[in-house]
Amino acid sequence: MKKKIIAIILAVVLISAVAAGVVFGDDILAVITHREIVDAYDDYPLQTKERGNYILVSTRQEADDGVVVYSFVIKDKNSEEIVFKCPGAWRSWDLKYIGFIDDGLDILVASGDMGNTCYSYADGEWTEIYNPEKTDYSQLSEDKAVFISDDYQDYFDMIS
């Protein structure tokens, strides 16, 4: 009797799996393919850039849903204490750039889905502003960035 019950359960599971594959086959393949592409973006190296009395540091963490997100903190150069922790975090496959905008201490975060956010420095503090007009994309470069995606230049060419 136990063998029949187990056989019936296995048959139901097998039939359900086959039916799901027939009904959702392309969707399941698309999800698996998307996940593989997304995972390829999760290996960006964490970097630091010094500017004046501060160090810009990229951070990486796993969100509650398992998605890898990147952000940044700013440390005091002498004490290495965190003086600003960015409240935002961006998915790795959407993020294009985290870095200094020009020769000052303003920081740009460019994201393909969230747009561009500037963290403007004044009087010892960084304030989040959405101000893409302030950004001269020609001023952005790898030597100013702690995160830069492989396709960041294509992104800036597209939005300029």
Q: Is the dihedral of CA 9, 15, 18, 20 positive or negative?
A: negative
Could you read off the pLDDT of 12-56 as tens digits, one per residue? 766 765 555 554 555 554 444 444 444 555 567 788 899 999 999
Q: What is the DSSP letter of 108?
A: E
For strands 107-111 and 68-76, give the pairing: unpaired
Tokens 């470069």 belong to which residue? 141
* Distance between CA atoms of residues 106 and 6, nearest Å: 64
Query: Considering only 13-17, 75-79, 92-96, which range has the smallest mean pLDDT?
Result: 13-17
DSSP 120-155: EEETTEEEEE--GGG--GGG--GGGEEEE-TTHHHH
CA 19 to chain centre: 36
pLDDT of residue 75: 97
Mean pLDDT of the chain: 76
